[in-house]
Amino acid sequence: MAKQPKTEYPPSAEYLKRAHIDSYEKYKKAYDRSIKDPEGFWGELADELDWYSKGWDKVFHWDKKECRFTWFKGGKLNVSYNCLDRHVKNGLKNTAALIFEADEPDQSRTYTYAQLLYEVQRFANVLKSKGVKRGDRVAVYLPMIPELAICLLACARIGAIHSVVFSGFSTDSLYNRVVDCGARVLVTSDGGFRGGRHIDIKGKVNEMLERETDVETVIVVKRTGTDIVMEEDRDVWWDDEMAKASPVCPCEEMDAEDTLFLLYTSGSTGKPKGVVHTQAGYLLGAMLTFRHAFDYRPGDIYWCTADIGWITGHSYILYGPLAEGATTLMFEGVPNYPDNGRMWEIVEKWKVDVFYTAPTAIRMMRKTGDEWILKHDLTSLKVLGSVGEPIDPDVWRWYYEVVGGGRCPISDTYWQTETGSHIILPLPGAYPQKPGSAMKPFFGIEPTLINEDGSPTKTGEQGRLVLKKPWPSCARTVWNDHQMYRQTYWEVYPGYYFTGDGARMDEDGDIWITGRVDDVISVAGHRIGAAEVEAALISHKSVAEAAVVPIPDEIKGEAIYTFVTLKQGFEESEELVKELITHVRKEVGPIATPKTIQVVDELPKTRSGKIVRRILRKIAGGGDGKDLDTSALVDPNVIGALVKGRK
């Protein structure tokens, strides 16, 4: 008989030596207090940050009706001070803050805390010289190079609000984000390197700036040395400006509730939301979860493979690790360049202790073959992390056994752009882990599962994941659209924060995330709004209607399946399908590339004309259409043709 796989993985005695919380009882005691006495709990933890003044009246204030809340309002601090200056003062000046591992293996660079502070102060002065003041937005469109980290910390230092746009996004996506936040300064580069290839960046910026925006100054990092067009009076080189800048820049004293950054994310509507995070609550959340998720210990080398263009990079390459005084590794390249062993070569080279990546990457590594891993000495690894998508138990076990050598716990961290930091995750030393479960809530998080109608689910039943109250790092609003924030997060199930995810809770109270229940598709862990792809398709001259749904994908978790109807005068052809795919890539970016486009005569619709995506999802996923509830449809006969034409 086949052996049943193990379902529980306790931390080893060796691991417990590094664990900050080494028993379930300790976790439970702290957790219970965080729920019963949040103000006392977080009020004490606020001492983990350095403040100019702790002048808050109330640790937490919540105006439920307006969906507005504050943490530590009236307290004054600076995030860049907390990430840099205090460590330089406290004996870490010669400790590596940032290790940059370039696309080419022989071009790494390390910045100590003192060096990083030096660069950050200089760039803060560059921003000031361009007229950037407290509260101004700075758009950032940079590849994974150290200047990206320097730029964000410089913004934080002078109280400017950064808004990073992932460098893989298209011109149009960049344009929408830059215009929405009204940035007058944009920081970018001539290009980037990925897998030995040049990636165009400045060309896309130039194209974007042909349209009307508020951008007056573009600061350009020279990364590739490619020939690019620089616009006189608008574009300046990073190096030229840095050469003129003083290395002393005092920190702005920011209120705990001032905005630190915006980060746009996709939701159910066609318009990405500028999620707003503030100073103190965000930083405290990122720092503490970083410490606990990975049991970070001084001297560890920590590597998160995300891009700083996403929230994972903000919280767990930059702010969390640096607030903690950690050494964080930043990687410019890709896992298969110069060969499939690159990730492991990096782990071996830097003796990485903590490795944090996404299930898509883990599935790819598994497919590439164990031999690439076994070639390298990975014994420095102590703990592993997973983020961004559900990790299936099989893949979890492979990660545990082959990458972690059977000794490293895996922190399956569940959270979102809006939550700012991890909200459900296993504390690796506190209790045994179950492969595929994100396990238990972090301090201050009260998860509940409810049915679509708001009633509670039974143990083990799939429901919608909601959270009972705001926690310090929760997003405060959506830029310029508080109404959207209220409607999306706090008013779907009044009194609760709605995550948009489905989950179930088992008999031990452990949580298993099952994925989005709204029209958000997760391709390789990247959130893509179905509505955004639909809007891109409809903007093509040939498309009358479009409906976009997820289908399961072996490597990327989900892929994009698209149904379109064509306008009169257009006919289906291979060329047209190719053109539509190129069009989506141009409008949204390569991450939104549809895997399949099915041209249909009609879409399934309700009497009021609403497209029934639930049905399309089943058909795209391979259903034969026989078990579908078609009672809501005007014309149930459309189903047959949809099934027949499936690609």
Stretch that binds ligand PRX, among 172-180, 237-245, 309-317, 625-633 (CB under 6 A): 309-317
Q: Under a CB-based contact definition with an 8 Å cutoff, are residues 273 and 264 in contact?
A: yes
* Interface stretch with ligand PRX, choices 219-227, 247-255, 341-349, 388-396 (CB under 6 A): 388-396
Minimum CB–partner distance for residue 324 and ligand PRX (Å)? 19
User: Please, which of residues 486-545 interact with ligand PRX by CB under 6 A?
Assistant: 499-501, 513, 515-516, 522, 527
Angstrom CA distances, 493 to 62, 211, 469, stand at 17, 40, 12
What's the N-to-C CA distance of the chain in angstroms? 39
CA angle 614, 618, 621 (to 5 degrees): 135
Q: For tokens 């504390």, what's the residue?
A: 427
For residue 316, give the nearest of 294, 290, 291 by alpha carbon: 290
**Closest to ligand PRX by CB, 279 or 416:** 416
Q: Which of 296, 295, 304, 351 is nearest to 329 (CA)?
A: 304
Give the nearer residue to ligand PRX in terms of CB position, either 51 or 319: 319
Q: With respect to ligand PRX, which residue has the nearer C-beta, 39 or 394?
A: 394
At 74, give phi and psi (nearest 5°). 100, -20
Q: Which is nearer to ligand PRX, 174 or 503 (CB)?
A: 503
Q: Residues 256 to 295: which contact ligand PRX by CB under 6 A? A: 265
What is the distance between the alpha carbons of residues 309 and 490, in angstroms, rounded to a whole number? 26
Among 181, 221, 311, 346, binds ligand PRX (CB under 6 A): 311
Compute the least distance from the CB of residue 286 to ligand PRX, in Å: 12
- Does 388 help bind ligand PRX (rule: CB under 6 A)? yes
CB of 498 to ligand PRX, least distance (A): 11
Query: How many residues of this chain bind ligand PRX (CB under 6 A)?
Result: 23
User: What angle in degrees, to the nearest 10, is found between the helix axes of 574-587 and 530-538?
Assistant: 120
Q: What is the DSSP letter of 525?
A: T
E strands present in 403-446: 410-413, 424-425, 440-441
Minimum separation from the CB atom of position 167 to ligand PRX (A): 16
399 binds ligand PRX (CB under 6 A): no
Per-residue interface string for the shown chain with ligand PRX, residues 424-453, x marking contact by CB under 6 A:
--------------x---------------
Which residue minimizes CB distance to ligand PRX?
Answer: 417
Angle subtended by helix axes 38-45 and 24-36, to nearest 10: 110
Question: What CA–CA distance (Å, rounded) separates 418 from 485?
Answer: 10
CA distance 140 to 146: 13
Region near ligand PRX per CB under 6 A, out of 168-176, 180-188, 253-261, 308-316? 308-316
Residues between 48 and 107 with contacts to ligand PRX, criterion CB under 6 A: none
Binding window for ligand PRX (CB under 6 A); candidates: 99-107, 158-166, 370-378, 387-395? 387-395
> Taking the CB of residue 227, how many other CB atoms lie within 10 A of it?
7
Residue where the block lists tokens 């580069």: 189
Answer for which of 224, 417, 477, 598 binds ligand PRX (CB under 6 A) is 417
312 binds ligand PRX (CB under 6 A): yes
Contact 101, 330 (CB under 8 A): yes
Measured in degrees and rounded to the nearest 5, phi and psi for residue 329 equal -100, 135
Instruction: Name which of 119 and 389 has its Cβ closer to ligand PRX.
Output: 389
DSSP H or E stretch at residue 599: strand 596-599
Q: Quick one: which of 390, 409, 463, 604 contacts ligand PRX (CB under 6 A)?
A: 390
Tell me the closest approach of the beta carbon of residue 418 to ligand PRX, in angstroms.
7
The verdict on 387 binding ligand PRX (CB under 6 A) reads yes
Q: Which amino acid is at 215?
A: V
Residues that bind ligand PRX (CB under 6 A): 265, 310-312, 387-390, 412-417, 438, 499-501, 513, 515-516, 522, 527
